[in-house]
Amino acid sequence: MRAQLPVDSAAAGTTEAALRSVAVLSGVGPALAAVLERLGLTTLQDLWFHLPLRYEDRTRITPIRDLRPGDSAQVEGVIEAIEKGFRYRPQLRVAIGDASRQTLLLRFFHFNNAQVNQLAVGTRLRCYGEVRHGVQGLEMVHPQYQRLAADAASGVEERLTPVYPTTEGLGQKRLAGLIERALGQLPADEMLELIPGKLRKVHKLSSLRAALLYVHRPPPDADLASLALGAHPAQQRLAFEELLTQHLSLKRLRQRLRAHTAPALHGDGGLRTRFLAALPFALTRAQQRVATEAVRDLAQPQPMLRLIQGDVGSGKTVVAAIAALAAVESGYQVALMAPTELLAEQHFRNFQRWMTPLGVDVVWLAGKLKGKARTAALAALAKSAQIAIGTHALMQEGVAFRHLGLVVIDEQHRFGVHQRLALRDKGRAPHQAARGRDTEVERQPTTDAFGLGRVPHQLVLTATPIPRTLAMTAYADLDVSVLDELPPGRTPVTTVAIANARRAEVVERIRAACAGGRQAYWVCTLIEESEQLQAQAAEAVHAELIAALPGLRIDIIHGRMKPVAKQAAMAQFESGATALLVATTVIEVGVDVPNASLMIVENAERLGLAQLHQLRGRVGRGSAASSCVLLYQMPLSALARQRLDVLRETNDGFRIAEKDLELRGPGEVLGTRQTGQLALRIADLARDAHLLPAVQRAGALMLRDHPDLVERLIVRWIGQATNYAGA
């Protein structure tokens, strides 16, 4: 159960009512309470704010003759024919007719004999579903239906039917009934509001109680199109409060993190000067600016919380190396964590090449490192290693740092907040490994001349350009630096989309590129063949291309290969020995081969814009003209066509990110399904971006003047999801 927060006496009554257990509702026993808890529904307030995903119009019966493809509708009719078929797979087809003398086909692929026996010719049915074009006319596939008595009059719903997020073992009807009973205990307006009246007036916010009742109980004459778009004033009122809460939760997280102290890293600049002098290129103005910001933060006694975002090839790794050297100059250790072994290995090779001439010891730690190699890496971390590079293995129990001063997280959106904080906590109790039998490094005192026990600074990198509207909300706990300039010599990549039917032309294009001394990638979305998906598997494509291009050396790399095999394949490609590398999306980030000038992406229609842009960024890293070919499988959906058109029209990562946010939403852009953040119930960052400036202003005033209400808003909308904030 969630802890109850202290409140003033005037609001104590409504808080007590809001936080009452769902068990007070009739019909909710221990078993149902456990099912509800899986949805995060433990209090009456949770049920009030468990908002509909969409609505169904069951307020009327639509004659079959008036149905249109794409509409969702409710129909009534009598079964005229029924047929079981087994062509390709079992199928039940039921034809119904109504007074309009038209016929509608119902198709079921999942059914049992009891269901077939219930659906006899002459049975009257009421059905709800989406209308589609079928081979024999209009049809519904797997509609919801109920049998009706032949002569009985049955009424329709009095208002639109909300459809809620649910879970196994909890049907829509039962959940809707529980929410309806909970709404019966909804407090009066002023008792429910947590945004102060003055702010509500300034931002013209309507009644929260009225908004909740409207979205849960929309009247028959409600504007269904407006509700479907999330544009109804009641939805916008709730969206404002939800976005405000998300913003406040991250600001509160930032406040709590800033309350910690961090080592002030005042390096003498010697290592950085030698590093920059050895680079074969000059830093861009953007790199100089962002590196200065990071080094300035490191010199402060509060923990740096900075996100560096930059398009593919903008030079984030070099900036991270400068920050790392500032920490090393001050006598502290650095941990750099990447989401995949391939990307971590790329960082390890770069840092070894840069740091070894400077006398800086770099150690590698990944999950597959075992035995003596792992023991040696752990011992180095406890004694001499200055920089540790690896995967999530850096966060595992038994991994102890001597004096960790800086944590660098690459591709932040692939890690959860919990994971980021777990690595940060490696610097809070240095020398202290996991308590218990798994201790691999002997525990030492938790303070020394370095001021140990402080938290390390955090530097977060992402090659996924984050739209400004999203960064304002998703990364409100971080300062944001933008690398908005590419190094000189980079060539724009020409992008074309080609149907798979022209595959042979693409193969010839590879032959020509490799004959000219260039190299190429062919990226597939699967490792093995699958009957369910139309994607070509990497292994099948590898064999196909070997047969089609016998004069070329063609290799393969994918995530299921052993690390040694992956390293060998990449080494051969980087050296130029391999002309064509067939790969899965494991090469999406971190691979840098300037001689590679051609990228083929198989089944490009299956990937999102951000991922396609990342893959395209693997070419165009040298001076040669480079191309990206997006191979797609017909038929192409309208959404997939939009994505491919955007890639053909622009190389601007920020424009692509804005479009990706518009088409797919923030959860996909940030990968937040793993993080627990931005699981928005009603707000939409692309649709509701116009609310964000007002949200920021309201948030600043609430943090300053109403901290008690901030906590209660967070409990209302996010609940236990913010427990990480106190870590």
Nearest to 616 by CA among 652, 575, 578: 652
Which has more confidence, 80 or 224? 80
* 47-83 pLDDT, tens digit each: 999 999 989 888 889 999 999 988 889 999 999 999 8
Q: Does 671 map to a domain?
A: no
Q: Left (φ > 0), alpha (ψ -120 to 50) or beta: where does 652 sit?
A: beta
- With a cut of 60, say whether residue 434 has pLDDT above it: no
Q: Is the domain of 26 the same as that of 76?
A: no
- With a cut of 60, say whether residue 234 has pLDDT above it: yes
CATH number at residue 605: 3.40.50.300
Q: Is the domain of 279 the same as that of 390?
A: yes
Q: Is the domain of 280 the same as that of 237?
A: no
> What mean pLDDT is predicted for residues 461-478?
68
Which of the listed residues 449, 483, 517 is the one where a domain comes to its end? 483
Task: With H, G, I as helix, E, B as strand and everything else as coil, classify residue 497.
Answer: strand
- Please name the residue that has the structure tokens 């070919």: 629
Q: Is the domain of 176 the same as that of 47?
A: yes
Side-chain half-sphere CA neighbours of 38 within 13 A: 11
Backbone angles phi, psi at 718, to 5 degrees: -120, -35
Instruction: Report how far residue 50's alpha carbon sits from residue 225's, in angstroms, rounded to the nearest whole number.
Output: 21
Secondary element (H or E) of residue 632? strand 626-632
**Domains of the chain: total:** 4
Average pLDDT of the residues of the chain? 83
Q: Left (φ > 0), alpha (ψ -120 to 50) or beta: where does 519 sit?
A: beta
- With a cut of 50, say whether residue 675 has pLDDT above it: no
Residue type (1 letter), 271: L
Q: Does 687 map to a domain?
A: no
Instruction: Report how far residue 536's alpha carbon sits from residue 525's, in angstroms, rounded to the nearest whole number.
Output: 7
Q: Is the domain of 175 the same as that of 34?
A: yes
pTM: 0.65
- With a cut of 90, say whether residue 487 has pLDDT above it: no
Q: Is the domain of 65 the same as that of 50?
A: no
Q: Is the domain of 341 the same as that of 357?
A: yes
Q: Does 674 map to a domain?
A: no
Residue 487 neighbours by CB distance under 10 Å: 16
Q: Is the domain of 474 the same as that of 455?
A: yes
- With a cut of 60, say whether residue 455 has pLDDT above it: yes
Which of the listed residues 465, 483, 501 is the one where a domain comes to its end? 483
Q: Is the domain of 348 the same as that of 459?
A: yes
Nearest to 711 by CA among 253, 47, 202: 253
Per-position DSSP letters for 37-106, written without gaps between them: HHTT--BHHHHHT---SEEE--SSPPPGGG--TT-EEEEEEEEEEEEEE-SSS-EEEEEEE-TTS-EEEE
Question: Using 50, 70 and 90 to split pLDDT, how confident is the model at 585?
Answer: confident
Question: Using 50, 70 and 90 to split pLDDT, how confident is the model at 399?
Answer: confident
Q: Is the domain of 536 the same as that of 613?
A: yes
Q: Does 658 map to a domain?
A: no
- With a cut of 60, say whether residue 577 has pLDDT above it: yes
Which of the listed residues 483, 515, 534 is the one where a domain comes to its end? 483
Q: Does 683 map to a domain?
A: no
> What mean pLDDT is predicted for residues 76-101?
86
* 292-347 pLDDT, tens digit each: 999 999 999 999 989 898 877 788 999 999 999 999 999 999 999 988 787 888 88
Instruction: Report how far residue 403's alpha carbon sits from residue 412's, in angstroms, rounded to the nearest whole number.
Output: 23
Q: Is the domain of 524 the same as that of 645?
A: yes
β-partners of residue 498 are 631
Q: Does 452 map to a domain?
A: yes
> What mean pLDDT is predicted for residues 19-36?
93
Nearest to 154 by CA among 21, 58, 48: 58
Instruction: Tell me whether the omega of the peptide bond preceding residue 233 falls within 30 degrees of 0, making it cis.
Output: no
Q: What is the pLDDT of residue 726?
A: 38
Residue span of the structural domain in which 126 resides: 60-156
Q: What is the pLDDT of residue 688?
A: 87
474-483, 630-639, 660-669, range with the lowest pLDDT: 660-669
> What mean pLDDT is predicted for residues 121-129?
93
